[in-house]
Structure 1
């Protein structure tokens, strides 16, 4: 059922983005009286699931869910309609239109993607606001339990100050900032230290497995989830949701401080102090020979930690006017982060290519249960990503056509139809190779 929910959200989001992207080409083409022969969601090789002709345009749904397209008369595109191109140009054809009109038609899809992403982020800011843990509010530093974080030279209690010289706004963005960054700065015992992020950090991150989670965590109190059956403290007065505040009189605030204390009392009877609601209580317990109490650990939600005084969350609400710059800033941050990651993918030594994923990876970022906020957040991200990817100067993409059109506008010389045909084939082969590699990565990770 979870897979079905994820897949449904993915298909809905992808369909929306494809239709609106192609509409971005369709509308200016119609405005400039250019004939659009087909408007398709998904590809229709050999047959269509649905099609209907209205005017000069056939609207339909294909059976291959790898995108969509508009077929514009007189244009070298994925249809490779060389027969049409061999005929004399007609007034309604793309190739007969002025270069500036062709440029607008080709940029229309990308324009819609960027505008859609910005619009969604603005509406999300207005409708939901933001609630997060500011990095500056993690005043006692981080909890390090991941071997990759340890290899970076980070210790319990370190405060992460900056990555590439920029202050971190949200604690939850730390892993992403390390992915995109090259160096970072920490504060340890009042001393500021500068450290480098290894070039192969992304490769190491990917080798941990997709379910490994964040590399750094805020420090949590020692909250008890329950007593295990084999625990020597099964019959003690410990209860679920008790928060341990001292061990044998030694105060503790965070869970990462517990083991050092328990190791001092292996196989001994001691007392611990717990906070239960507004009361505190001393409880006699037994420490096992390996320094354990035999209890489960409860990870309290941030809302509870805020009530207990451990952290102060930022809770921002925006008027519509305030949501506009906030949505714009989030869109810009999303785009620049994506560009940084793409640069690292093209540097083999980073190992970032291991993280390149296809449809399974994209589908997996949707939640197991439908959430309107999550759905639209992911859709906004995908819209901006799709817009940028289509701007890449690859002949089979919008960006390739834009480059050729700009060349014509600057030099006054239009590339020949044969050149455009060959360029389209080369670009298409590159895209298929990239598609196979990305989806091959997905399959490899599934079996791994």
Structure 2
């Protein structure tokens, strides 16, 4: 059922983005009286799931969910319609239109993607605001539970100040900042320390596995989740959701503090003070020879941590006017973060290519349960990502056509049809290679 929910959200989001992207080409083409022969969601090699001709255009749904397209008369595209291109140009064809009109038609899809992403982020800011744990409010430093964080020189209690000289706004964005960054600065016991992020940081991150979680956590209290069946304290008065706040009357605030004290009392009996329903209880406990009390710890929501005085959360609300710059800023950060990641993918020493994923990876970012806020957040991100990818100067993508059109406008010389045909084939081969590699990565990770 979880897979079905994820897949349904992915298909819905992808379909919406494809249709609107192609509308971005379709509408200016129609405005400039250019004939559009086909408008398709997904590809229709050999046959279509659905098709209907209205006017000059056949509207349909293909069976290969790898994208979509509009077939514009007189344009060298993925259809490779050489017979049409061999005939004399017609007034309604793409190749007969002025270069500036062709440029607008080709940029239409990318324009829609960027505008859609910005619009969604603006509406999310207006309707849901921005709720997060500010990094500056993690006043007692981070909790290091991961060997990768240790390997790059971070210790429990360190405060992460900056990455690449920029202050960190959201604590839970730290992993992404480390992915995109090159160096960071911490405060440890009042001392400021500069450290380098290893070149192969992303490779190490990928090797941990997709379920490893973030590399850094805020420091949490010791919350009882469940008592183990073989615990020496199975018959004690400990209960789930109890919060350990003192050991032998020595106050403890965080799990790591409690863990250190327990290790110093191996095999001994202690008196633990727990917080339960706003009241304190004292319970006698036996510590094992390994320094454990035989329980599974758990976490509690950030709102409960705020209520208990651990962290102060930011809960920002925006009027519609305020949501416009907030949504724009989020869109810009999304785009710049994505560009930084792409740069690292093209540097083999980073190992970032291991993280390149296809449809399985994209589908997996949707939640197991439908949430409108999460769905639209992911759709906005994918829209901006799709817009940027299509803008890359690769033949067969919108960006490739834009480059050739700009060359014509600057030099006054139009590239020949034969050259455009060859460029389209090369671009298509590049895209298929990238598609196979990305989805091959997905399959490899599944088996791994």
Matches for 1:107-122 after TM superposition, within 5 Å: 107-122=107-122
What is the aligned partner in structure 2 of residue 390 from structure 1? 390
What is the aligned partner in structure 1 of residue 144 from structure 2? 144
What is the aligned partner in structure 2 of residue 379 from structure 1? 379
Matches for 1:45-444 after TM superposition, within 5 Å: 45-444=45-444
Equivalent position SS for 2:275: strand
Aligned pairs, number: 448
TM-score by length of 1: 0.99
Q: CA deviation at 1:27?
A: 0.3
TM-score by length of 2: 0.99
Cα distance in structure 1, aligned partners of 2:236 and 2:53: 77
What is the aligned partner in structure 2 of residue 5 from structure 1? 5
Q: Which deviates further from its counterpart, 408-417 or 220-229?
A: 220-229
Cα distance in structure 1, aligned partners of 2:279 and 2:5: 44
Q: Which deviates further from its counterpart, 227-236 or 371-380?
A: 227-236
Equivalent position SS for 1:338: helix
Q: CA deviation at 1:224?
A: 1.1
Equivalent position SS for 1:265: coil
Q: CA deviation at 1:378?
A: 0.4
Gaps in structure 2 of 5+ consecutive residues: none
What is the aligned partner in structure 1 of residue 34 from structure 2? 34
Q: CA deviation at 1:298?
A: 2.1
Q: CA deviation at 1:259?
A: 2.1
Q: CA deviation at 1:360?
A: 0.3
Equivalent position SS for 2:5: helix
Cα distance in structure 2, aligned partners of 1:225 and 1:395: 56
Cα distance in structure 2, aligned partners of 1:409 and 1:433: 31
CA deviations over 1:249-302 (Å, ceiling 9, x no partner): 322110011222112211111211222233223221111111110122121111
Cα distance in structure 1, aligned partners of 2:116 and 2:238: 53
Q: CA deviation at 1:412?
A: 0.4
Q: CA deviation at 1:396?
A: 0.5
Equivalent position SS for 1:71: strand
Cα distance in structure 1, aligned partners of 2:227 and 2:62: 57
Equivalent position SS for 1:76: coil
Equivalent position SS for 1:110: helix
Gaps in structure 1 of 5+ consecutive residues: none
